[in-house]
């Protein structure tokens, strides 16, 4: 059912209306690029570890989704007002993790609109488990892969 409805979606906005609550503000790829230059920022990867190992945004902290632990985040990010950007493949799982961060008291949390797919689609670098730049992006499944238009799709 989930994958059948995915094919019916024509835009990210439609996809997010169906699967997200819009409970966490989005941040665009361009805004994240600008924030990364400033440096005072935590970027959290809310995908599964096998996805993170294939590629991730440089200097992001793996927090996972199914095995997410608020203790890991709290141990790493002490200041609850630190700007935090959470991403996943597109922005659905990251909204769920962002909600958990907000519930834990973090006050400056945003969800990357379009996730790592949009990051890569807009010509930004991603890095593998050895921190080498790669063109590969784990697309979670063949159904989700339609949203990645730049890069090598890995399932």
Among residues 88, 92, 97, 116, the one annotated as catalytic is 88
Place of tokens 């949390």: 109
By CB atoms closer than 10 A (0-12, 13-18, 19+), residue 36 is middle
By CB atoms closer than 10 A (0-12, 13-18, 19+), residue 2 is exposed
Furthest CA-CA distance within the chain: 42
**DSSP secondary structure, 32-66, as one string:** HHHHHHH---EEEE-S-HHHHHH-B-TTEEE--ST
- Check if 88 is active-site: yes
Catalytically active residues are 88
């Amino acid at each position: 059912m989930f994958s059948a409805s995915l094919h019916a979606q024509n835009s990210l906005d439609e996809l997010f209306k169906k699967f997200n609550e819009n409970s966490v503000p989005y941040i665009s790829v361009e805004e994240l690029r600008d924030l990364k230059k400033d440096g005072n920022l935590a970027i959290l990867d809310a995908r599964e570890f096998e996805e993170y190992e294939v590629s991730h945004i440089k200097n992001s902290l793996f927090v996972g989704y199914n095995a997410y632990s608020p203790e890991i985040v709290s141990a790493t990010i002490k200041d609850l007002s630190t700007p935090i950007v959470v991403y996943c493949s597109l922005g659905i799982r990251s909204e769920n993790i962002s909600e958990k961060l907000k519930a834990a008291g973090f006050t400056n949390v945003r969800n990357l609109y379009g996730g790592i797919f949009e990051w890569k689609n807009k010509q930004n670098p991603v890095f593998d488990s050895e921190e080498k730049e790669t063109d590969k992006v784990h697309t979670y499944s063949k159904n989700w892969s339609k949203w990645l238009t730049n890069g090598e799709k890995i399932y």
